[in-house]
Structure 1
């Protein structure tokens, strides 16, 4: 038997071939697009990681440099403060700077107090004491011993305070240390802004007083007559019931209370401000 002879038009065969070729091209094109997309994603991820590592390296180098400069600055500051406290001559920032290792510094110093201006003493804790000196100190030699040959000659000192937080109002004990022919002696006064406590603690009521510093209340503490009857040495201030922010306003020039040091080390070029108050020596 003979197989039937089928014949197809040439245009049908051509269309089928063309369609298959186009499908194959579209498939290959899609695969190439996917590969290109993957390559781009890999490049983006790699670039991101590279930038992150580079940024971290730059940051680490910057931090290391800042730490090194800060260490040198604090070393210079420490040396400058020590020199100032020892009574060494001031190193003027407009002149030749003092060198220590790879760092340099200059400093100036002034006395804290020494005038009749109001003076903020800061925060004093419960049962802590703060000493207000009524005699001079020898700060030139770097050995600041008290000098009893001259004392505060004002008739009184305003002492002001207020609470730092909470609702409890602090009271204040003021102790005058003085010297007369019989030796060192003390005189005390206690003051309370809370009228409800005065009946039980026998303190004296305060008065509205701000010492020119914006405080809430205080008292004017009167001093005995000036020498030769006696020499006023110091006032000791001690809060009760709560810590207190304290300030004073002298009625005459107050002896120096310490040293204020302004020190500039390089690097970096920035200024340190600090005040050293004389410590109790009795």
Structure 2
């Protein structure tokens, strides 16, 4: 009888030890997971801070007016913590434009007789049926003149707003739903584009000179990599410009 009780006690002790070991392993595993998460969060925040520092360095270089293409920075003495590149901002890689907002493009180094404007990606359903207004500002005979164009793919709206029907995207506008050709006579200055009814939408104007700079900055911390992009465009007139400047006709100079 004593042997049976001893055996039962041994089994009970082994069972308690097994349960304790399981609980200990579980707690240790959770602790390790929590530590990894804390470590990852810290490294992620640091990598993002490094990437932001690289973008700031790139902006300082651009502000200095020198030749800027990129670089790397060692912020903590342990090797490069961030690398950044600066590339020209193509007129086909513009940031998306929200509804009722305006993007301004420089034409001072463009010598063509017309520009083609593409808008609304075919791959993005939310960009369908976006209308677009275009203001072309030029210099002629010492006077600034403005020509306005308006396009709307929605037939029911066109009956109300009298906009023109855009052409389907093709050729240099492949991948876009709509396109329009804007004449650019005289001395070109700026092109102002404003989406209506739908936004944000993608807009491209192939063939224009660079419209600014695109900064890509990558920060490293441990095994974490964070990347940010910064778009820097040239100075632009406020959106209120479209409402306070008036031209009675394409041959009349701008007035307030």
TM range (shorter): 0.7 to 0.9
Q: Secondary structure at the match of 1:237?
A: strand
- Pick closer, same or farther for the CA change 1:273–1:111 going to 2, 3 Å: farther
Match of 2:18 among 41, 44, 48: 44
Q: What residue ranges of structure 1 are gaps of 5+ in the alignment?
A: 1-24, 136-150
**Corresponding position: 1:98 with 2:70:** no
Shift in Å at residue 33 of structure 1?
A: 4.9
Aligned pairs for 1:29-178 within 5 A: 29=4, 31-87=5-61, 90=69, 92=71, 97-102=72-77, 104-113=81-90, 119-135=92-108, 151-162=109-120, 164-165=124-125, 169-178=129-138
- Pick closer, same or farther for the CA change 1:134–1:167 going to 2, 3 Å: closer
Conserved 8 A contact 1:162-1:244:
no
After superposition, the CA RMSD in angstroms is 3.0
- Pick closer, same or farther for the CA change 1:101–1:109 going to 2, 3 Å: same
d(CA) in 1 for partners of 2:112, 2:83:
37
- Pick closer, same or farther for the CA change 1:123–1:262 going to 2, 3 Å: closer
Aligned pair count reads 226
Q: How high is the TM-score relative to the length of structure 2?
A: 0.74
- What whole-Å deviation, never above 9, does each CA across 1:160-199 have from its counterpart, x for those lacking one? 2237546971211111133344444432100111223322
d(CA) in 2 for partners of 1:71, 1:167:
34
Shift in Å at residue 278 of structure 1?
A: 0.9
Shift in Å at residue 108 of structure 1?
A: 2.2
Q: Secondary structure at the match of 1:200?
A: helix
Shift in Å at residue 215 of structure 1?
A: 1.2
* Bigger strand fraction: 1
Match of 2:209 among 233, 237, 255: 255
d(CA) in 1 for partners of 2:99, 2:159:
21
- Pick closer, same or farther for the CA change 1:72–1:90 going to 2, 3 Å: farther
- Pick closer, same or farther for the CA change 1:279–1:193 going to 2, 3 Å: same
The aligned counterpart of 2:176 is 215
Conserved 8 A contact 1:170-1:244:
no
Q: Secondary structure at the match of 1:43?
A: helix
- What whole-Å deviation, never above 9, does each CA across 1:34-62 have from its counterpart, x for those lacking one? 43443233222211221122222322332
- Which shows bigger deviation, 118-127 or 205-214? 118-127
The aligned counterpart of 1:5 is none
Aligned pairs for 1:174-185 within 5 A: 174-185=134-145
